[in-house]
Amino acid sequence: MERTTLDLWVGIFVVGGIAALVMLAMKVGNLGTYNVSETYQVNAYFSNIGGLKPKASIKSAGVLVGRVTEITLDTERYEAKVVMSLDKRYQFPKDTFANILTSGLLGEQYIGLMPGGDSEMLKNGEQIKKTQSAVVLEDLIGKFIYNKTEEPVK
C-alpha cells in the first residue's frame, strides 16, 4: 500500500480512538457535567452519616450544587465532620439546614440543603450549624416494633 494512504488510515484510527476517549469522558463520565474550578468549602457536623460517601452529591431544591469532598470522625465531639465543596455560583444563608437524604427507598444518600432566612451568606471554611442525621432503616424498624409491643392487647 502507498505510504500516504497508510498515513491517512492510521490518522483516522488514532483520531477515532481519541474521539472515543473524549466521548467517554464527556458523555459517559462526569467530566462534562461538573466543573471543579470555582468552588468554596463548607463543613458540617452530623451525629450519624449513614451511608454517605465522599463524592456524594449535594442538592438544593433538587439541583446539584456541589460534592462531598471529605468525611472524618472528629474525636473531640465524636461526630462525623463532612467537608463539602459548593459551586461559587450558589450562595447560601448562614442558617441553612443540611439534611442527609436518600434518593428513593434504597438509593444513594446525598445532602440536601434547605436555605434559611439569614441575610448573611456562608463563606469559605465556615460551618453549617443546623444539621439532621441520616435516617437509619434499622432504627426505624426497631422503633416500630417497640411501639407495637407497647400497645395493649385487645
Partner 1 sequence: MPAAKTFKVIGHRTINAVWRIGMAARFFFLTLMYSGSSFRRFHLTVKELFSTGVMSLIIIIVAGLFVGMVLGLQGYETLKRYGSESALGSMVALSLVRELGPVVAALLFASRAGSAMTAEIGLMKATEQISAMEMMAVNPIARIVAPRFWAGVISMPLLAAMFSAVGVFGGYLVGVVQIGVDEGSFWSQMQAAVDFRDDILNGVMKSFVFGTAVTVIALFEGYDAPPTAEGVSGATTRTVVTSSLVILMLDFVLTAIMFRGN
Minimum Å distance from CB 110 to partner 1? 10
| Contact by Cβ (8 Å): 41, 125 | yes
Minimum Å distance from CB 141 to partner 1? 20
Q: Which one, 18 or 140, has the nearer CB to partner 1?
A: 18
**Pairwise CA distance, residues 148 & 90, whole Å:** 45
> Per CB under 8 A, does 70 bind partner 1?
no
Which of 10, 73, 141, 145 is the binder for partner 1 (CB under 8 A)?
10
Closest to 36 in 3D by CA, of 62, 60, 83, 69: 69
Grid coordinates representing 2 are 502507498
Chain residues 47-66 in contact with partner 1, contact rule CB under 8 A: 55, 57
Q: Which one, 49 or 122, has the nearer CB to partner 1?
A: 49
